[in-house]
Each structure stands twice: as C-alpha cells, then as structure tokens.
C-alpha cells in the first residue's frame, strides 16, 4: 500500500508560480457540422521562465455571456512546442528567446445548447508574467507585492441564429513579436490575424487583463477579470514611452519609435463583425523588449523613373499613365535602390537590400508587378535597378490606383525602409456591354395568368465583342421549381449570344398560391471580358396568378330548421336516453370536403361515435350518442359540447 501511494505522488503535477508568460491567445476554428477545434497559444519566456511552469495540459472553461452560467470545462493538451524565429537571425545575441506552446482539442458545440443570442466566452487564467516588466506591476506573488498573471479570453457567437445554423471561426494565425526594438529606431510588425469567414476585424490597444487571484492556476471563474496595474507614467496613452507611442492600425499594423530601454507589456482586442454586427471578440497579450543593441545604420533610398526618361528624378511620389494601346513591355517603370551603408567600412562596404510591393488605396496581393528577383547585395556604394511592370487591367474600376514599392535593408533588429508611392492611371481595353435583344425593356410585366394555365417566353442577349456570356437566374425570394417555373438556356452556346426560354405552369397542385400570387424572375447576363469590369445587364419578368373565386363551405344539422346555424344550444337528454342527428356539409364550388369532429377525446365515455367522410361538393354523416352510467354514478347535470368542422 505504501508503494502504491508513493507512485500516485510521483504522477501529480504541481503548477509552478513563476515568471514565464510573454503572451498568447485563443482560437476557435470550425471544422465541419457542429465540430470545432479550440486552440490555446502561450508564448513562453525561455530566458526568465522556469521549465516547471510549462503545463502539459490545461483545463479551460466556457461560459454563457448573458448570465455567466458555466457551460462546461474543456481539457486541452500540449501538442507542439516551437521557437519563435527572428526576422533576421544574425541580429540576435540571445536578447529574446521565446517558445510557442500550442494546446489543442476538438469539441462539439451542440445547436440545441449553444443558442443564446448574446453568445459565449472561453477563458483560462495563469500566473505569472515576467517579473522584469517596465510598464506594469508584475512582482513575485508574496506579501504586499502586486502580481500579474494573464487571463486568456475569447468570445464567440451562438451556433444557431434565427433558427438557422450560424457558422463562424474566430480570427487566427496571429504572428508574434519576434524581434527586439531599439531606442529611437522605428519599430513595426504585422500583428494581424486572418478570418476564415472574411468577417471584418477591428484592432484596438487595451489594458491587459490580470488574473482573479495571484496563484499559479486560479480557480475557474466567469469574472469580472481585473486589469493589470500600470506603473506611474504609463497607461494606454503611453504604453512604452515612445515618440510616437505604440499604435495599431485598422489593418493590425503595430508601429512605434521607442525612446527608453525596457520590457513592455501590451494587449490588443480584436472585435469581429459580420454585416455590421459584432459577433465575437479575441484578446491577445504580448511584450516588447527594447534594448540598445542595434548598430548604427542608415535607411536605403528608392528613386523612380519612367522608361522614357533618362534620370531617376522621382523621390517619395510619382504618377504614371498608360493607354489601352500600350504594349506590355512598355507598361513599366524603373526604381533604383541605394544605401549609404554600402559605403561604410563598419558594414564591410556591403549591404543587402530587397523590394516589396504593397497596395495603398485597395486590398490585393500585387506581387505580380515585381521582377522575378527582388533582392540584391550592394558593394562599395553601388546601386541596383529593378523594373516594375504593371498589368493590362487596373486593379479596380473607376479611377487611379496607388501602390507602394518599399526598399528594405538588412539593419538590426528590423530592416530600415524607404517607400516610393506610385499613382497609376491605366486605360482598360475597350469593351461593349452585353444587351438584351428580347425583351428590350429591363422589366416585363406579364398579364395576370389564370390558375391552371401556362406561360412561355423566349429571351435573347448579345455581346458585340463576341465575349463569352455568363447567365445568372435570381428570384425575389422563392425557389423556381417549387412555384412551377423553369428557365432553359438553349444549347449549344456560342460566344456573344445566349438564347433561352422561361416557362411557368401556374398549377395549384405545384404551388399553393393562397400564400403568394406575385413572382419576379430576373435573368442577368455578364460578358467575360479581359478585365471583367462592368455590371451585368438584366431582364426581369413579373408574374401574377389570377385565382378563381371561391365560396366557403356551409355546415348544417337536422336539429333545427335554420340552414345558417353555427351553434345548437341547450339540447337536453336524460340518462339512458339517446340522441342522434345528421350533419351535412356543402360547397357551392364543388370543392373537395372533409367532415370530421374537431375533438375526439372522451367520445367513448359519452357513447359518441362519428365517421369522418370526404367527398366533392357535399358530405354528410350521422352522430349517434347514448349516454350511460358507466364508471361512476352522477347525481348532477353534466354539460359538454361537440365541435364538428367541414373544410376544404
């Protein structure tokens, strides 16, 4: 027994309260159906962190936002550990050594459970952040010290909205800060993640969250979660004492120019929007190390020229225009890169440079404008020329676009840069829009069609350039086949021409026209031109079905002489007396009728029998009733009612 008890003790893992947390975040990724993958990423300080603080597994909690009810706890295991690489490894002297701990699991978010409109959040708390942080209090948790842990936090929406599945993945694949910064040297890093659903992401710098208690693993809690405490002089308006201070753009680009050395913690909240509605929130913390370890360096310079000019006269900005007759080889400019460090003995008269292309007033990857080789080594003050060639079609329709060609050097710890902004006017190739030959008008109102009749109409669209035509059929909220519609495109197709037919069978056995009798079908045609510009042309057909007149059925009994009776009251019978009467239903339109009891419970108790009948135009059935003393003896009068209906 003693040996068994000793074995148990050896398997117990005691969480370590130690300085080790650099930052991290949650990710929730939709896999299929109701299955999701939950990831927890922790960045671990290999220099200051205690090895025992690396948890091999964690238990995170999911709560409902509205009332903070615990939905469940989720176990996650450490599945991967990797080092965060430097942008330029040769710049490192061990100032930063950060590892990425990746915890993951799969879970089912049941549509019967995760339906609350306000959504849910997943949370996990861990202590401690580094004890050498400059801008917040983060001390060893003992006595009156102010400790600082991290609360990892993610909000996500319900999996069902308005009765329909709501599929969403949180933003993910956030890059870490993998380089140190230097005083009075510009610092920048792309801190943005990606969103698999193309939701809008809004980035905001916020005060980091602390843990609810200063222990290694605080007990599970729905919050509220306290904020870390800024040291005097620091706060959201002065996170690292930079000039300018730390900022994050709408696209997630972090920028600053530090002025003092130190280790600075910051946090970014990422709000996720779909169709203007906030559906989720991610929080990620990180720390920035500023050390005076950057050797003296000068930024490169980029100049531009048109291919028809002899000198590179454009610095910072230039503008070019090309007609639609310009050959591909002539739709280019040239840029020249130089760097003072290529003439510096301390740099061995050598400097590595590279160029990159970015879109400025639109969003698109434009690496196609760059040459195949985008790097070079400058020796003894030499320069390097690159050709930037632009595509035949503008990147968007309706005006000039702007691109930036950025030159980078090999300065430590981050390359210095210079940008040439280029405004480009490109005349797209000529293109004739497609058009409808029949019908000519964009909206054709079809005369009302009697129910039970059919309609057919051919249509034809042409393109004078002979471009391939793409056809799309849309409706104003109904399914074509369900309402008796068919749209046929004639084969074989040919470029520059599309012909087809629209047909409607307005049969009530196909569609219930009592709910809707107006329909619109739109046929849109677009040409597959070189630049794929221009909106499609469309022809809309508006239909109405004319329903025949209809009279309500009439129900009657032979209990009274009134043919319009709807209630027969105060029929009295003594015990052991019987009652029988005939019920008749008629319809002037000779429609199909059903005659039946509205309620059929307790019929046997009262001795009632009634046969349901159906027929066209007229139905009738007798209702006999024999009330007997069966299960108990009644000494009081009893009242009950019978409801009979006749309907189509």
Q: In the CATH hierarchy, which fold is given to the domain comprising 301-426? A: Immunoglobulin-like (2.60.40)
Q: At a CB cut-off of 8 Å and minimum separation 6, what does 498 contact?
A: 460, 461, 462, 469, 471, 489, 525
The answer to whether 226 touches 212, Cβ cutoff 8 Å, is yes
Helix, strand, coil % over all residues of the chain, rounded to 5: 5, 45, 50
CA 350 to chain centre: 47
What are the sequence ranges of the domains in the chain?
Answer: 15-290, 301-426, 435-546, 554-647
Give how far Cα 268 sits from Cα of 62, 252, 253, 324, Å.
21, 9, 11, 46
Give the C-alpha separation, 32 to 617, whole Å: 54
Q: Does the fold of domain 435-546 match that of domain 301-426?
A: yes
pLDDT of residue 399: 85
* Host H or E run for residue 6: helix 2-11
Structure tokens at 49: 């962190």
Identify the CA nearest to 190 among candidates 236, 149, 232, 249: 249
Phi and psi angles of residue 90, each rounded to the nearest 5 degrees, phi first: -70, -15
Question: 468 to each of 471, 487, 624, 636, how far by Cα in Å?
Answer: 10, 19, 75, 87
User: Which contacts (CB < 8 Å, 24+ apart) does range 65-68 have?
Assistant: 65/116, 65/118, 65/119, 65/120, 65/121, 65/155, 66/116, 66/118, 68/222, 68/223
Both structure tokens of 205: 């710098």
Nearest one of 455, 458, 444 to 484, comparing CA atoms: 455
Binned average pLDDT, 10 residues per bin, the chain of 648 residues: 27 54 94 96 82 86 96 95 76 74 96 96 94 93 91 97 93 82 88 92 96 92 96 96 94 92 95 95 93 87 95 96 95 97 91 94 92 96 97 92 94 88 95 93 93 93 95 94 94 93 89 86 94 92 86 81 78 74 81 76 68 84 61 46 56
The DSSP call for residue 536 is P
What is the Cα–Cα distance from 598 to 606, expressed in whole angstroms?
A: 16
Give CA torsion, residues 81, 87, 93, 96, to 10 deg: -50
pLDDT at res. 512: 80
pTM of the complete model: 0.65
The answer to whether 60 and 40 are in contact (CB under 8 A) is yes
Pick the CATH number of 435-546 from 1.10.1670.10, 3.50.50.60, 3.40.50.720, 2.60.40.10: 2.60.40.10
Structure tokens at 29: 């990724």
Phi first, then psi, for residue 310 (nearest 5°) are: -95, -25
pLDDT of amino acid 233: 96
């Amino acid at each position: 027994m003693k040996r068994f008890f000793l074995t148990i003790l050896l398997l117990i893992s005691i969480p370590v309260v130690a300085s080790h947390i650099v930052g991290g975040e949650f990710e929730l990724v939709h896999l299929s159906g109701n299955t999701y993958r939950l990831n927890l990423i922790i960045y671990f300080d290999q220099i200051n962190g205690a090895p025992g603080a690396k948890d091999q597994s964690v238990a995170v909690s999911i709560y409902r936002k509205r009332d903070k009810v615990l939905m469940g706890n989720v176990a996650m295991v450490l599945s991967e550990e990797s080092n965060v690489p430097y942008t330029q490894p040769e710049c490192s002297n061990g100032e930063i050594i950060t590892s990425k701990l990746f915890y993951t699991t799969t879970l089912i978010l049941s549509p019967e459970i995760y339906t609350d409109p306000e959504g849910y959040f997943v949370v996990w708390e861990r202590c401690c952040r580094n004890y050498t942080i400059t801008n917040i209090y983060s001390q060893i948790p003992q006595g009156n010290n102010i400790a600082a842990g991290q609360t990892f936090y993610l909000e996500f929406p319900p999996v069902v909205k308005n009765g329909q599945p709501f599929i969403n993945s949180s933003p993910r694949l956030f890059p870490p800060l993998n380089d140190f910064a230097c005083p009075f040297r510009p610092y920048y890093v792309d801190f943005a993640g990606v969103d698999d659903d193309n939701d809008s992401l809004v980035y905001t710098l916020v005060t980091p969250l602390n843990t609810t208690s200063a222990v290694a693993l605080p007990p599970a809690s729905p919050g509220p979660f306290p904020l870390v405490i800024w040291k005097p002089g620091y706060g959201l308006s002065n996170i690292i004492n930079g000039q300018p201070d730390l900022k994050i753009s709408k696209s997630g680009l972090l920028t600053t120019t530090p002025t003092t050395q130190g280790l600075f913690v910051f946090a970014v909240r990422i709000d996720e929007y779909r169709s203007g509605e906030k559906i989720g929130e991610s929080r990620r913390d990180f720390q920035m190390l500023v050390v005076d370890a950057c050797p003296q360096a000068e930024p490169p310079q980029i100049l531009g020229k048109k291919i028809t000019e002899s000198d590179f006269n454009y610095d910072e900005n230039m503008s070019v225009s090309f007609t639609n007759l310009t050959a591909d080889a002539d739709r280019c400019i040239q840029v020249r890169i130089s760097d003072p460090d290529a003439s510096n003995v301390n740099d061995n008269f050598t400097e590595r440079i590279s160029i990159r292309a970015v879109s400025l007033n639109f969003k698109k990857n434009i690496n196609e404008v760059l040459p195949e080789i985008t790097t070079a080594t400058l020796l003894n003050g030499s320069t390097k020329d690159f050709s930037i060639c632009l595509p035949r079609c503008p990147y968007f329709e309706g005006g000039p676009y702007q691109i930036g060609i950025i030159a980078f050097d090999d300065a430590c710890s981050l390359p210095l840069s210079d940008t040439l902004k280029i405004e480009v006017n490109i005349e797209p190739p000529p293109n004739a829009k497609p058009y409808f030959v029949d019908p000519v008008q964009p909206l054709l109102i079809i005369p009302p069609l009697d129910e039970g009749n059919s309609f057919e109409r051919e249509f034809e669209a042409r393109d004078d350039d002979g471009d391939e035509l793409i056809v799309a059929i849309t409706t104003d909220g109904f399914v074509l086949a369900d309402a008796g519609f068919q749209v046929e495109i004639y084969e074989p197709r040919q470029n520059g021409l599309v012909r087809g037919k629209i047909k409607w069978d307005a049969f009530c056995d196909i569609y219930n026209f009592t709910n809707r009798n107006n329909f619109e079908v739109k046929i849109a045609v677009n040409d597959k031109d070189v630049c794929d510009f221009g909106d499609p042309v469309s022809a809309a057909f508006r239909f109405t079905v004319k329903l025949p007149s209809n009279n309500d059925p009439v129900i009657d009994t032979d209990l009274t002489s009134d043919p319009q009776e709807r209630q027969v009251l105060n029929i009295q019978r003594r015990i052991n007396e019987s009652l029988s009467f005939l019920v008749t239903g008629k319809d002037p339109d000779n429609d199909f009728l059903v005659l039946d009891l509205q309620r059929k419970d307790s019929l046997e108790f009262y001795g009632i029998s009634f046969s349901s009948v159906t027929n066209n135009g007229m139905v009738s059935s007798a209702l006999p009733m024999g009330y007997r003393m069966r299960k108990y003896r009644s000494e009081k009068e009893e009242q009950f009612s019978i409801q009979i209906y006749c309907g189509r």
